[in-house]
Copies of this chain bind each other. A is one copy, B any other.
Amino acid sequence: MPHLVILYTPQIETETDMKLLCRRLADAMSSVKDEAGKQVFPIAGIRVFAYPAMHFAVADGSGEHAFVYFNLRMARGRSETAKHNAGASVTAAAREHFAPLLARRGLGLTLQVDEGEEVFDAKFGNLHPLFNKT
Query: Which A residues are closer than 8 A to B by beta carbons?
Result: 1, 3, 5, 7, 9, 13, 18-19, 21-23, 25-27, 30, 43-61, 63, 65, 67-69, 72, 83-84, 86-88, 91, 94-95, 98, 102, 106-128, 130-131
How many identical subunits does the complex contain? Answer: 3
Check if B83 sits within 8 Å of A107, measured CB to CB. Answer: no
Residue ID in chain B nearest A94 by CB atoms: B124
Query: Are A111 and B122 in contact, CB atoms less than 8 angstroms apart?
Result: yes
Cross-chain contact B106 with A123 (CB below 8 angstroms): no
Give A109 to B3 CA distance when docked, in angstroms. 12
CB of B1 within 8 A of CB of A57, answer no
Partner of A49, one of B7, B22, B91, B122: B7
